[in-house]
Each structure stands twice: as C-alpha cells, then as structure tokens.
Amino acid sequence: MWDFTSRQRGPLAPIGAITAPGQRARSAFVTHYGPVPAFRPERWKFRVFGATAFGAAHDLTLEQLHGLPTAQLTADLHCVTKRTWPDNNWGGVLVSTVLDLVPPAADVTHMMVWAEYGYSANLRLSDVTDGRAILATHHHGEPLSLEHGFPLRLVTPHLYGYKGPKWVRGIEYMVGDRRGFWEERGYHNRGEVRHEQRYSYQEAPDEGPPL
C-alpha cells in the first residue's frame, strides 16, 4: 500500500500525532459547499465517460459498484483550512479497479471526478493509481453517513480534502488538465499535503492550466 508520508507512527511520532506541515488535529468534522444532497436510489448511477478506450461511456449501478473487489485505506483527512481529522478507515473500491474495468484511452492524463450539484475535482491519473485513491462506501466498517458522502465519496489522503468529492456520481477521463470547483477558486491545482500546496498562487507554470 502507498506510503502516506504525512502520517508517521514510531517512537518519535506517537499515535495521534499529525506530522503534515501546518495542520492541527481536530475531532471529526463535516465541511462542504452547499447543502447535503438527497440520495435518490431510483435515479442514482455512476458514469465513467470522456476519453474512454472504447469511446463509449459506461454506467454502473450502486449494486454493480458494491460487487467490485473492495479495499481499505486508513489515513488522516487534511482540510486545506489546516484542520486534520485523524485516523479514518475507509472501505470501498480503489480508483485503479474502475480504471481496469473501464480503461481510459492511451492519451488520458487526468480525470475530473464529478459529484452532485456539479461539484468537481481534477486529478492527475498518477495521483489516483496504485492504491492512492479509494471510492469509499464505508467508514470504520459502517456505511458512510449522508453528511460524509453517502453513497460514494473519493478519498485521496496525500492530497487536501477538496480533492475528494463527497456524493460522487462519475468520472470523466481527460486528455489534458482542466480545473475543478475549488481549483478554479484559488486553491492549488494539485493540492499535495506534504508540500503544502494550498493556493493557486503557489503553482509552478506547469502545475495547472491558466486561471
């Protein structure tokens, strides 16, 4: 499993210590823009679209998603506003599993993860492969609560929380990069925690499309 360098346990870093730069541990929090969307099972589907290898979009029902191989990932959740929610165990389906099931075209470099109400986050393909990103259905073994993203949310612990949409409804494969919701509004296009990539003014010219 990926080595989450923002989380270190050992003689010098007792359990509970937050070693991500600039972050402070807090108890569980809920934060998002806008209201919590209602879950409408009869209308819910997960769509993989954009530059797929076979040129067609692919829809999955929640049952089909639940039938995919599962994985778990334990990590801190770092909000870019400097609060950290420590030690979360997420269960669900790795993004790699979806990439295997619906392969992207050879020239795909990024994905946009889309959620209810048009919330979105753009991610490099290399930031969501090799077990670094999970489409979570469970938290500490229980189904997600509505406020934490039921029925599906993305978690990418090495990136700030805004890179992990709650209430995810689809993935768009992209040839080249485009900014998501917060990435268009002043937050860093990549958002890597250990480098404190918080704001778009910190971006190097090759780290994001022009604003």
Ligand X SMILES: Nc1nc2c(c(=O)[nH]1)N[C@H]1C(S)=C(S)[C@@H](COP(=O)(O)O)O[C@H]1N2
- Residues making contact with ligand X (CB under 6 A): 29-33, 77, 79, 85, 115, 119, 148, 161-162, 164-167
Closest to 181 in 3D by CA, of 84, 116, 108: 116
Chosen from ligand X, Mo ion, none, partner binding at 165 (C-beta under 5 to 8 Å by type): ligand X
Neighbours of 3 (CB within 10 A): 8
- Examine residue 161 and tell whether it contacts Mo ion (CB under 5 A): yes
Q: Does 88 bind Mo ion (CB under 5 A)?
A: no
Residue 167 binds: one of Mo ion, ligand X, none (C-beta under 5 to 8 A by kind): ligand X
Q: Give whichever of 53 and 195 is closer to ligand X, judged by the CB atom.
A: 195
164 binds Mo ion (CB under 5 A): no
User: Which option in ligand X, Mo ion, none does residue 29 bind, with CB closer than 5 to 8 A by kind?
Assistant: ligand X
Asked if 74 and 89 count as a contact pair (C-beta separation under 8 A), the reply is yes
Comparison of 107 and 147: residue with beta carbon closer to Mo ion: 147
Out of 79, 101, 125, 146, name the contact with Mo ion by CB under 5 A.
79
Supply 114's token pair.
């889309």
| Residue 191 binds Mo ion, judged by CB under 5 A | no
d(CA 170, CA 106): 20
Closer by beta carbon to ligand X, 97 or else 156: 156
Residues near Mo ion, by CB under 5 A? 79-80, 161-162
